[in-house]
């Protein structure tokens, strides 16, 4: 059984970070789905997904991001991703995710992008 | 000293060239190489527009890079009527087809040659008032010569990069299919399977709109309104015999409304879901969120993915069905046990007689009934009956008859009256197509008289030691058809030592061989005549074996029940 964990962390700038750890595949996607579901039900729409400890993501895992992005953006929020290893980024890149999502080097950079948008 | 100015002039020409050469040859980035080439030429000639066309097909060129021109024209393709190794200046009659280039303001094309073949053209907008001087032309030629090798390298590198990426994409698709195939095999719940499929679909192709319309049964919708598609799903199934782009739906009148609707709902393509080459449903695939169109390859991938899921879904359904069936079977097995319990497990000893009975049901539960019940007056009630139909309904009715018979035996009624009551009860409580052929009698061991009523049952045989056979026919109508109006007639027969009564159901006389021929009562008569000196038990066993031999290889279509009793 593959291991996957999601840690939710509230930053002080009204942004919530999901820290992904381990192997995100068909078995473990429900864990991530539940985490998103919970944030959305609490009306928290500014989300950074920190992928520092994410070792693999399958298409089903990517599908979770697709499933929530429209609802989040409809509420003026966004899902941004940060700290991907090259291997994980390659999967996101191959499936064209950089065209749809902000994928940045660090969590702070992602937070800055949220800030820029709220200034505008 | 006189040489010095000359040297310095050569330096001013050579140094930038050397620097240019080292810069572009140190890079593999085609965009950078061409950009540097263009900017250098434009700077030298003081012009504001330039493009680089690269060869794509035999005579096809496309704009790979451009400065001072609209972004949209990048990647535009042009067919060259002939490929000149010399400078082409516009307007030129031969190159009329290239008007689109000249309309950008580009008025001359310099060939880029690598190993004496044209790999592209450098196009510039020469200023009409400042024609290119011979010296400038030489400079451009030199720049192009110096760049050619670097461009070649850059193109090759780009191609490798692109094909590597395409390959990575294919590997990723295959991995997804492989993973899902593995995953689906382990999932036995439909809902979970669909969830995994939809997430994989969304992640892999980047959409969140889709609908799965099943020809039969409930369809599934994600961000697409249900009503319209549901009403038109048969047309969709008819249309999508292969993956089909919505744009490519034929512009026939009957598809017009459907096509408009699919376009409005941003459904980009229809993917058939097939089982054994038959379309069972269609996946309506929504546009990508990032708007770039699907390629044929994408559709093929989605087709593989969707059908992998669909087959697994079907397997799940079949599995559920098998589970249900097994459950039903086990319930039937219990019903059979209960029913078998209603038939006598052991037969009572009747003084002066030998009695045997057997029931072999064709299905798990059957509708035949036999019984031997001791009555309070010392007589024995011997019963045989056959309920119309088979399976559970027949066995339920049989249970009912059994209960009624047992309830009536202690009651002080004549056989005729009791038969009438059973008939009325069955008639009242069952539909007209349910009936029972029924025979019963009271055997008095003291007088050896067998008193009976036959309600439409195959008349039992009385087999005498001399081989004569009499049939016990007195009685009346089959039970359950009409209300009793005429009383059932009673009959009786005196049984002397060696006389034998054989009761049977039509499962015996109508047993079929492989070619569908009945065994017949006549044949049974002939057969039992030969057994007249045997014991009741042996007669029963031999008839049973005879029937089973006769029907060997053919499926048993009816219950077989036999009761044999013989006066000692």
> What is the predicted pLDDT for the residue at B1?
45
Tell me, yes or no, if A64 comes closer than 8 A to chain B by beta carbon: yes
Q: How many CB atoms lie within 10 A of CB B216?
A: 7
CATH of B4-159, one of 3.90.550.10, 3.40.309.10, 3.30.450.40, 3.30.1050.10: 3.30.450.40
> What is the predicted pLDDT for the residue at B12?
65
> What is the predicted pLDDT for the residue at B94?
79
Which residue would you say has higher pLDDT here, B506 or B127?
Answer: B506
Span B187-318 CATH architecture? 2-Layer Sandwich (3.30)
Tell me, yes or no, if A95 comes closer than 8 A to chain B by beta carbon: yes
For chain B, list residues whose CB is within 8 angstroms of any CB belonging to chain A: 165, 168-169, 172, 176, 179-180, 183, 196, 198-208, 223, 288-290, 292
Residue B386 pLDDT grade (very low, low, confident, very high; cuts 50, 70, 90): very high
Answer yes or no: do B203 and A59 touch at CB < 8 A: yes
Q: What is the mean pLDDT of residues A65-91?
A: 94
From chain B, the residues in CB contact with A59 under 8 A are 172, 176, 179, 199-200, 203-204
Q: Do domains B4-159 and B187-318 have the same CATH topology?
A: yes
From chain B, the residues in CB contact with A26 under 8 A are 179-180, 183, 196, 199-200
The chain A residue lying nearest B209, using CA atoms, is: A67
Which residue would you say has higher pLDDT here, B182 or A88?
Answer: A88
Percent of chain A with pLDDT over 90: 80
Give yes or no for residue B300 having a pLDDT over 80. yes
> What is the predicted pLDDT for the residue at A2?
62
CATH no. of B345-567: 3.60.40.10
Instruction: Give the C-alpha separation, B544 to B539, whole Å.
Output: 9
Domain chopping of chain A, boundaries:
4-108
Domain chopping of chain B, boundaries:
4-159, 187-318, 345-567
Answer yes or no: do B179 and A91 touch at CB < 8 A: no
Give yes or no for residue B503 having a pLDDT over 50. yes
Answer yes or no: do A70 and B207 touch at CB < 8 A: no
Answer yes or no: do B208 and A26 touch at CB < 8 A: no
DSSP string, B42-91: HHHHT-S-EEEEEE-SSSEEEEEEEESS-GGGTT-EEE-SS--SS-EESS
Alpha-carbon distance B176 to nearest alpha carbon in chain A (angstroms) = 7
DSSP string, B118-149: EEEEEEE---TTSPPPHHHHHHHHHHHHHHHH
Instruction: Give the C-alpha separation, A92 to B371, whole Å.
Output: 78
Residue B2 pLDDT grade (very low, low, confident, very high; cuts 50, 70, 90): very low
> What is the predicted pLDDT for the residue at B43?
87
Are B203 and A66 in contact, with CB atoms under 8 Å apart? yes
Give yes or no for residue B364 having a pLDDT over 70. no
Q: How many CB atoms lie within 10 A of CB B333?
A: 12
From chain A, the residues in CB contact with B180 under 8 A are 26, 60
Residue B378 pLDDT grade (very low, low, confident, very high; cuts 50, 70, 90): very high
> What is the predicted pLDDT for the residue at B283?
92
CATH of A4-108, one of 3.30.750.24, 3.40.50.2000, 1.10.3720.10, 2.70.98.60: 3.30.750.24
From chain A, the residues in CB contact with B223 under 8 A are 70
Instruction: Give the C-alpha separation, B491 to B484, whole Å.
Output: 18
Would you state the structure tokens that stand for residue B205, as one six-digit string? 């192709």
Q: What is the mean pLDDT of residues B72-78?
A: 87
Q: What is the dihedral of CA B425, B428, B433, B439, to 10 degrees?
A: 20
Answer yes or no: do A100 and B169 touch at CB < 8 A: no
Beta partners for residue B214, in sequence order: B281
The chain A residue lying nearest B200, using CA atoms, is: A60
Give yes or no for residue B487 having a pLDDT over 90. yes
Are B355 and B366 in contact, with CB atoms under 8 Å apart? no
Q: Nearest 5 degrees, angle CA B96-CA B100-CA B102? A: 75
* Interface A-B: count of C-beta contacts within 8 A: 76
Beta partners for residue A104, in sequence order: A82
Lowest mean pLDDT among A12-26, B133-147, B361-375: B361-375
Tell me, yes or no, if A94 comes closer than 8 A to chain B by beta carbon: yes
- Mean pLDDT, rounded, of chain B: 88
Q: Within 13 Å, how many C-alpha atoms sit on residue B255's CB side?
A: 16
Instruction: Give the C-alpha separation, B204 to B70, whole Å.
Output: 33
Instruction: Give the C-alpha separation, B420 to A32, whole Å.
Output: 74
The chain B residue lying nearest A98, using CA atoms, is: B290
Would you state the structure tokens that stand for residue A85, as one six-digit string? 């290893």
For testing contact with chain B, the best of A23, A30, A34, A58 (most B CBs within 10 A) = A58
Q: What is the mean pLDDT of residues B471-482?
A: 93
Helix axis angle for B190-205 and B134-186, nearest 10°, is: 170
Q: What is the mean pLDDT of residues B147-169?
A: 91
Answer yes or no: do B208 and A94 touch at CB < 8 A: no
The chain B residue lying nearest A100, using CA atoms, is: B290
> What is the predicted pLDDT for the residue at B37?
93
What are the CA-CA distances from residue A56 to residues A99, B200, B315 (Å)? Answer: 20, 15, 29
For testing contact with chain A, the best of B203, B292, B301, B306 (most A CBs within 10 A) = B203
Edge-first strand order for the sheet with B220-222 is B220-222, B210-214, B278-286, B267-275, B244-245
Which of A66, A70, A90 is the closest to B203 by Cβ?
A66
Torsion sign across C-alpha atoms B116, B117, B118, B119: negative
Cβ neighbours for A101, distance < 8 A, ≥ 6 positions apart: A65, A69, A79, A80, A81, A92
> What is the predicted pLDDT for the residue at B34?
94
Cβ neighbours for B333, distance < 8 A, ≥ 6 positions apart: B364
Give yes or no for residue B237 having a pLDDT over 90. no
The complex's ipTM works out to: 0.86
Alpha-carbon distance B235 to nearest alpha carbon in chain A (angstroms) = 29
Q: How many CB atoms lie within 10 A of CB A4?
A: 22
Instruction: Give the C-alpha separation, B295 to B306, whole Å.
Output: 16
Residue A6 main-chain phi, psi, to 5 deg? -120, 130
DSSP string, B321-367: HHHHHHHHHHHHHHHHHHHHHHS-SSPPP-TTEEEEEEEE-SSSS--
Q: Is B468 exposed, middle or buried (0-12, 13-18, 19+ CB in 10 A)?
A: exposed
Q: What is the mean pLDDT of residues B328-351?
A: 86
Instruction: Give the C-alpha separation, B48 to B221, whole Å.
Output: 54
From chain B, the residues in CB contact with A69 under 8 A are 208, 289
Tell me, yes or no, if A90 comes closer than 8 A to chain B by beta carbon: yes
Which residue would you say has higher pLDDT here, A58 or B431?
Answer: A58
């Amino acid at each position: 059984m593959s291991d996957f964990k999601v840690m939710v962390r509230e930053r002080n700038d009204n942004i919530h970070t999901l820290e992904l750890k381990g192997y995100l595949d068909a078995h473990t996607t429900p864990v991530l789905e539940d985490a998103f579901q919970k944030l959305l039900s609490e009306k928290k729409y500014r989300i950074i997904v920190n992928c520092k400890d994410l070792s693999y993501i399958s298409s089903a895992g990517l599908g979770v991001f697709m499933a929530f992005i429209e609802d989040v953006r409809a509420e003026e929020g966004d899902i941004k991703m940060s700290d991907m290893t090259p291997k994980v980024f390659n999967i996101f890149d191959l499936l064209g995710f950089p065209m749809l999502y902000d994928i940045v080097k660090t969590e702070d950079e992602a937070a800055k992008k949220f800030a820029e948008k709220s200034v505008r | 000293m006189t040489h010095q100015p000359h040297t310095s002039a050569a330096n001013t020409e050579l140094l930038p060239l050397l620097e240019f050469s080292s810069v572009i040859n140190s890079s593999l980035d085609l965009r950078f190489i061409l950009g540097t080439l263009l900017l250098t030429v434009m700077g030298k000639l003081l012009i504001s527009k330039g493009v680089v066309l690269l060869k794509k097909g035999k005579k096809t060129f496309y704009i790979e890079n451009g400065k001072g021109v609209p972004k949209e024209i990048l990647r535009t393709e042009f067919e060259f009527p002939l490929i000149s190794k010399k400078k082409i200046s516009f307007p030129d009659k031969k190159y009329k087809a290239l008007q689109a280039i000249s309309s950008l303001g580009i008025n001359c094309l310099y060939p880029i040659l690598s190993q004496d073949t044209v790999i592209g053209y450098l196009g510039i907008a020469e200023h009409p008032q400042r024609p290119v001087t011979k010296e400038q032309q030489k400079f451009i030629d030199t720049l192009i010569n110096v760049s050619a090798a670097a461009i070649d390298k850059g193109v090759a590198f780009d191609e490798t990069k692109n094909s590597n990426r395409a390959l990575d994409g294919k590997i990723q698709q295959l991995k997804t299919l492989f993973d899902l195939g593995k995953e689906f095999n382990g999932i036995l719940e439909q809902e979970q399977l669909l969830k995994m499929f939809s997430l994989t679909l969304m992640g892999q192709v980047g959409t969140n709109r889709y609908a799965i319309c099943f020809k039969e049964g409930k369809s599934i919708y994600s961000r697409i309104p249900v009503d319209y598609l549901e009403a038109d799903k048969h047309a969709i199934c008819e249309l999508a015999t292969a993956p089909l782009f919505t744009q490519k739906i034929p512009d026939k009148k009957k598809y017009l409304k459907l096509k408009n609707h699919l376009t409005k709902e941003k459904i980009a393509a229809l993917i058939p879901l097939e089982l054994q080459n038959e379309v069972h449903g269609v996946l309506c695939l929504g546009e990508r969120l990032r708007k770039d169109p699907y390629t044929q390859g994408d559709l093929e991938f989605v087709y593989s993915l969707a059908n992998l899921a669909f087959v697994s879904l079907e397997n799940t359904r079949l599995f559920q069905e098998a589970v249900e069936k097994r459950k039903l079977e086990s319930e039937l097995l219990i019903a059979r046990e209960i029913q078998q319990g209603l038939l006598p497990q052991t037969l009572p000893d009747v003084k002066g007689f030998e009695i045997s009975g057997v029931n072999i049901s064709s299905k798990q539960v059957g509708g035949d009934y036999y019984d031997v019940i001791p009555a309070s007056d010392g007589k024995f009630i011997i019963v045989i009956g056959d309920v119309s139909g088979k399976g559970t309904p027949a066995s339920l009715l049989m249970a009912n008859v059994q209960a009624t018979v047992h309830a009536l035996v202690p009651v002080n009624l004549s056989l005729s009256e009791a038969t009438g009551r059973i008939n009325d009860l069955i008639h009242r409580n069952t539909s007209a197509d349910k009936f029972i052929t029924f025979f019963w009698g009271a055997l008095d061991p003291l007088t050896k008289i067998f008193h009976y009523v036959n309600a439409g049952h195959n008349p039992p045989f009385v087999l005498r030691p001399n081989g004569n056979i009499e049939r016990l026919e007195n009685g009346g109508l089959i039970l359950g058809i009409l209300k009793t109006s005429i009383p059932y007639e009673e009959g009786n027969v005196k049984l002397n030592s060696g006389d034998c009564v054989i009761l049977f159901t039509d499962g015996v006389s109508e047993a079929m061989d492989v070619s569908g021929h009945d065994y017949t009562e006549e044949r049974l008569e002939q057969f039992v005549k030969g057994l007249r000196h045997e014991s009741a038990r042996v007669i029963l066993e031999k008839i049973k074996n005879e029937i089973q031999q006769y029907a060997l290889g053919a499926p048993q279509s009816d219950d077989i029940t036999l009761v044999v009793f013989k006066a000692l």
